[in-house]
Structure 1
Amino acid sequence: MNATTDSIRILLCDDHRIVREGLKQILADTPDIEVAAECASGPEVMHKARVEAIDLVLLDIAIPQQDGLDVLRQIKQEMPRLPVLMLSTYPEKQYAARCYKLGAAGYLNKSADTEQLVAAIRKAAGGGVYVSPQMAETLASELSARSSSHERSPHESLSHREYQVFQLIAAGRSVKEIADQLELSPNTVSTYRGRILEKTGASNDVGIAMYAVRHQLMPV
């Protein structure tokens, strides 16, 4: 690692070892960026963020044991000055706005090129917020639409957990499968499902899936 004394020290979290190794290899040729620590699950992120001397967290959304957005929320509560750059396979349209609202310093799709990744890390570590050109255009369009209509889409009123359940229902998962994946009780999932039906105006799970398709919110 060609790290310098002024390098940006990163905590890298992704549950796929091959992804972590790939990112480390990409960043190894960038003198001012150093992968100082790595982990593969939500609880590990919190532990290492507390004990390691790091300048930024590079965090995947889909990590085991604790959802990446929950980890983001917890980091911003405990360490509000620590920048968190989200990295995901999910399209920006699905999750980026939620990440920014929770305090993320940026959102990158894993298909981003090396220059974009390095630029995002430097921007976030410097105290700024990285927004890709594509996301900037999307956010501008949404703000323009809201200012003219003064209304939000129904799914924007879903809480983070409701949105998770919404996505899994749209993907065809059963209440039990959702409960197992999110480590919730089936009754709790059913409660969230009821709120989703009420907020989106859907009458059943098929209606939820159709709503997701119509608004381009289908999980990938």
Structure 2
Amino acid sequence: MSMIRDTLAKVRQRIRDAAQSAGRHADSVGLLAVSKTKPAEQLREAFASGQRDFGENYLQEALGKQVALADLPLVWHFIGPIQSNKTRALAEHFDWVHSVDRLKIAERLSAQRPSHLPPLNICLQVNISEEPSKSGCLPEEVPALAAAMAALPHLRLRGLMAIPAPSTDPTTQRAAFARLRQLQAQLPLPLDTLSMGMSEDLEAAIAEGATWVRVGSALFGARTAPATAADTAP
């Protein structure tokens, strides 16, 4: 318990310091605890230290944790690549999906969102560094995709998400995040979310307007287990 409490306190202090340096209020930046491969008990410990939002990359693993932690009022975010055969479970069991990069996926999520639930919060994932191996739409595709997704009835397009090419240079980090911020600012839509920044670059992301930072290793330590076969199946 003490380890997770301490790492949460350290990350929250990093967020506060970065927000202050950027002239922002710390409350304008949400901490999304990336809990992939971590056991449900560690999420329970994080909850006891005040953490409510958790990000998962692997669907079957996440669903198991949701059952184990059903007694807690957690907010579940999906942040991994999306396969078409997983959209129904995502639509039924998550509050947010940050990694929507195709209109087909958005349409399926909208059609499969249960009517008794509020609209599913989504982010359009952008391949901001234009890496061939990275998920996400290209920057020039953003206006048309965002407009189409915003019109779907059971979704709420909240903003953009990106995972830039890794860099240890703060100037390079900020340039990628600034590009995402500028893309969003050009959209004629009421968007309020920039999901960007991780353990290694959250300061640069906050300086450029991040509203969610996705932090895993700085909270829970290095990844400890592989994804299940069900999660890696096509």
TM-score, L = length of structure 2 = 0.32
More RCO (CA 8 Å, sep 6+): 2
Higher helix share: 1
By percentage of residues, which structure has more strand?
2
Structure whose CA Rg is larger: 1
